[in-house]
Amino acid sequence: MSTTPSDRREFFRVDDDVIFDVQPVDSETAHKSDPNDYGDGPTWEILEALAAIDHKTQQAASKLSPENYTYLNLLNTKVDLIARHTVFSHYQHLPKTRISLCEDGIAFKNPRMLYKGSFVQMRIIFLPRFVPIITFAQIIRCESRENSYNVAAKFFRLDTRQQQLIAQTLIKAQQQSTSGP
């Protein structure tokens, strides 16, 4: 069975609620700066560290017996609960935003017009695991719609870790949609 490009685009795209912030940046910043310089200080660094530890925990869990897996899962849940109460509370007041995500780009509603070809810096926190990504993107489309703008952007200079986090987010969302609620 062959798939057309539009079929592939639909298959690899998911709609998700995230904590999301987007800010325009100039071309030189997007080309030469590290997007991580635009984090939120120590709190953002803790979010990144927790996401990395969670990823390593998931890798280790595949090698465990069912009893040990259950224990590790309970322990991970406990750590998540403590982290939500401390670190995550810093971000929970921010509104959730619906985005459409694929491996190479993102679509979202924005209150301001963003010009085609311009650059933005994005801070995305994927829910419910609070996995953070900071990256640059280039605007490929911005259309006016009912008091806001529908924006499409292509990720710019994603590093390997960011690509892996986005791919994992897509895979998890697809697994959840095929297995039901």
pLDDT in tens, 48-100: 888 888 878 878 887 888 888 888 888 888 887 887 777 777 777 777 899 99
pLDDT tens-digit readout, 121-170? 999 988 877 888 999 999 999 999 989 999 999 999 998 988 988 988 88
In terms of average pLDDT, the best of 25-34, 39-48, 76-85 is 25-34
Residue 92: alpha-carbon gap to chain centroid: 15
| pTM score of the predicted model | 0.77
The pLDDT score that the predictor gives to residue 12 is 60
- DSSP one-letter string for the chain: ----HHHHHHHT-EEEEEEEEEEEE-HHHHHHS-GGGGS-THHHHHHHHHHHHHHHHHHHHTTS-HHHHHHHHHHHHHHHHHHHHHTGGGTTTSPEEEEEEETTEEEEEESS---TT-EEEEEEEETTTTEEEEEEEEEEEEEEETTEEEEEEEEES--HHHHHHHHHHHHHHHHHHHH--
Query: Which residues lie across from 108 on neighbouring strands?
Result: 99, 151
Residue with tokens 């985005």: 99
